[in-house]
Structure 1
Amino acid sequence: MSATSVQVDKDLAGCTVVITRPAGTATSLAKHVRAAGGAPLLLPGLSLRGTPDAHHVRAQWREAQRDDVLIFTSPAAVRYALALAPFTETHGAVIAVGRGTARALQRHGIAAETPASRQDSEGLLALPSLEHVHGRRIALITAPGGRGLLPQQLAERGAQLRYVYVYQRTASRLTQHHIEAVQQLPADAYVLLSSAEAIQNLHAQLPATVWRRLCEATAIVSSERIAQAAREAGFVRLYPAASAAQADLLAAACRAHSRQHD
């Protein structure tokens, strides 16, 4: 199953699926939910913005293209980096955290290595090309924040790290419409969760009674780390997805719905 060709055969007929991806990035996933017979509810937990210091970061991005390895941590990192300056010919390796990021690079004619299984920091760290990096210059094309596991492990392996923060993640602005939609959420709804930061932002912004309503839904979680964050925030019913890729999240929701109605 690919992220752009999700075969679900109306497996979510009649279901409400809450999408918590950053504002402006959920169009494709919402389309697939509708194709599966479900009703998408957009509840963005994050908002993505360009760097406030474009001149300085543009210079950093151009310098990073001369490093030994460039690691893009998200499709957004690709989009914002290429908006700052074009990608020039580089002798270094290009690595993408997952298939979506690799596709974003491919649209610009840039081939990237990506983990075959886990599309996260652990998957990247397991790549043979990142096993022996002592003394190598590695640029992380990313946003501030995040887990910190990837740079920590690369630094411990002796890499010389450069951070290029081409965009930033902030809390999205929820409206009364969002609050009212969650208040009316049926108990058999599904919430797609792939960011601990998004969970925290939504928990902080939604009124307590509305948050409890959201937690009555089944959380589709992209990893055990996200599952832990969801449990700590109040979710009780959790179902694992293979990864944070939209196809994997949607497939997990379909399986969870099928099991509940067997």
Structure 2
Amino acid sequence: MTSPVLICRPGERGEALANALRATGTPVESLEVMALEALPESPAMRIAWLDIDQYDKVIVVSPFAAQCLSNALDRYWPQLPVGIDYYSVGSATAEILFDQLGVRVRIPPAASGQKGAVNEHGENTSEALLSLASLRDVAHQRILLVAGEGGRTLLADTLIERGAQVRRVAVYRRVFQPPSAAMQARLTTGDYQALIVTSGELLEHLAKWCDQAALNQPLIVSSHRLATLAGTLGFCDLKVASGATPAALAATLERSCNPKGADVDQGT
């Protein structure tokens, strides 16, 4: 029996990734080590939603943050105010905002294919989002950043350095748990085809259970930043997808399992 590909993306996005992989005939098992929980609305959140029309830009960092924002604005704004520019790191987040709120969303530019390009690898990252021309000159602009608890501070820090007034609202938390006994056994023995991880926090969490056999197995990540982190954690066989979408991850898995005639994606 073919060993499975292990994924750890929670919720509906995890199901979408699993379905995309299974459509190619790949067996999939979920590690189920993280859940996302919406935070109860605080007075600070309520003020942010009521004052949404006071912001020049709204940046939403993940699909779950987009869902939480959409639910909140539906309660307070039967009709959204105009004149706000919306941004997201990836297309999945943008799709939720468009479907739920009907707003157009700016996302990182595609790879230009030119050496030295800001988003040379075509990745959906905070760095790529910050390369947008409309986010370079933001002096005196008010920006609302909708995210989860913790996580990277690069977006807020950089925009503040560029002169913006940034308010960060955390709308959900990540809840981590150990892998099941069966999944711990797979990580100990390396009994799987590949591991797919698209979050630095998840990668650091999983590394606690990865023995050398697992560190030698293919690890597929969604950015070169994650590949660098993986290297520091001891992972040896790194494959970098062009983004975090199911299609990008499935394509990288296909190249990993069938390398003949295809370029090898090696993290650096």
State the TM bucket, normalised to the shorter chain: 0.7 to 0.9
State whether residues 86 and 104 of structure 2, in contact with CA within 8 Å, keep that contact through their aligned partners in structure 1. yes
Measure how far apart 1:180 and its partner are: 3.9
- Residue 174 of structure 1 is matched in structure 2 by 179
Task: Give the drift of 1:248.
Answer: 1.0
Take 1:198 and 1:246, find their aligned partners in 2: how far apart are those partners? Answer: 17
2:31–2:180 Cα contact (<8 Å) kept = no
Q: Is the 8 A contact 2:149 2:171 kept in 1?
A: no
Aligned-residue offset at 1:15:
5.5
Distance 1:213 1:63 in 2: 52
In structure 1, the partner of 2:94 is 102
**Cα distance in 1, alignment partners of residues 187 and 59 from structure 2:** 37
* Structure 1 residues 253 and 79: alpha-carbon distance in aligned structure 2, compared to 1, 3 A threshold: same
Match of residue 92, structure 1, among 60, 63, 84:
84
Q: Which runs of 5+ in 1 are unaligned?
A: 1-12
Structure 1 length-normalised TM? 0.84
- What CA distance in whole angstroms lies between the structure 1 residues aligned with 2:183 and 2:2? 20
Matches within 5 A, 1:65-76: 65-76=53-64
Distance change in 2, residues 1:62/1:177 (3 Å): farther
Q: Is there any run of 5+ residues in structure 2 with no aligned partner, and where?
A: 111-122, 263-268
Partner of 1:34: 22
Q: 1:58 to 1:180 in 2, by over 3 A?
A: farther
Larger deviation, residues 86-95 vs 104-113: 86-95
C-alpha displacement at 1:33, in angstroms? 1.0
The one-character-per-residue Cα deviations of 1:80-137 (angstroms, maximum 9, x if unpaired) are: 1222331522321111211111111111122211122231111111111111100000
- Counterpart position of 2:113: none
- Tell me the equivalent position of 2:224: 224
| Cα shift at 1:64 | 3.3
**Aligned position for 1:131:** 136
Alpha-carbon separation, structure 1, partners of 2:182 and 2:202: 18
Distance 1:29 1:93 in 2: 29
Q: Is the 8 A contact 2:59 2:146 kept in 1?
A: yes
From the superposition, tell whether residues 176 and 59 of structure 1 become closer, same or farther in structure 2 (CA, over 3 Å).
farther
2:214 is aligned with 1:214: yes
Task: Give me the TM-score of the superposition, normalised by structure 2.
Answer: 0.82
Structure 1 residue 153 corresponds to structure 2 residue 158: yes
Contact 2:86 2:106 in 1 (8 A): yes
Aligned residues: 245
Q: Are 1:163 and 2:155 an aligned pair?
A: no
Query: 1:198 pairs with 196, 202, 220, which one?
Result: 202
CA RMSD of aligned residues (A): 2.4
Specify which of 36, 43, 49 is matched with residue 31 of structure 2.
43
Identity of aligned residues (%): 29
The separation in 2 between residues aligned to 1:172 and 1:250, in whole angstroms, is 26
